[in-house]
Structures are given as structure tokens and as C-alpha cells.
Amino acid sequence: MQLFRLILVIATTLAVVARYLQEQHRLSVVKRLPGPQARAYYERTRERSERFLAVLAVILTALAIGAVVYTVVKGR
């Protein structure tokens, strides 16, 4: 169980670092583009990120519900 927790912490840390680097890249691209193109690029990439985060939230919610159900069933 300790190994699973360690893997989970490492995976979460890597995900946070990846999102940070992705945002840094997005902002560097926005700085180089002229106004209207920069706004269009930023909006397009933010929409994609928001869709991804919504899908991720649904998946994590399903996993959490599954874990609760498993715990309740196993506890009987």
C-alpha cells in the first residue's frame, strides 16, 4: 500500500509540473503573436484544456464512487 501511495504522489507531482510547463509554453506563444491571433490561440487552447479537465473530473469521480462501493461491499 505504501508503494501505491508513493506512485500516486509521484504521478500527481509529474502532472502538476507538466501542466505548469504547458501553461508556460502557451503564454510564450501568446506573447509572440499579434493581438487577435494571440487571443484566438489562447481561447482555443483554454477550451481544449477545460474539456480535458472535465473528462478527467468525470473519470476521477467514477473511480471514487467505485472505491466507495468496493469498500462498502468488502466491509460486509
Q: Residue 76 pLDDT > 80, yes or no? A: no
Q: Residue 1 pLDDT > 90, yes or no? A: no
| pLDDT score for 19 | 87
What's the CA gap between 69 and 24, in Å, rounded? 40
At 14-25, the pLDDT tens digits run 999 998 998 899
Q: pLDDT higher for 74 or 21?
A: 21
At 23-59, the pLDDT tens digits run 899 899 999 999 999 999 989 988 988 999 899 999 9
What's the CA gap between 24 and 49, in Å, rounded? 14
The domain ranges of the chain are 9-75
Contact indicator for 42, 26 with CB cutoff of 8 Å: yes
| pLDDT score for 20 | 93
CA within 13 Å, CB half, 57: 6
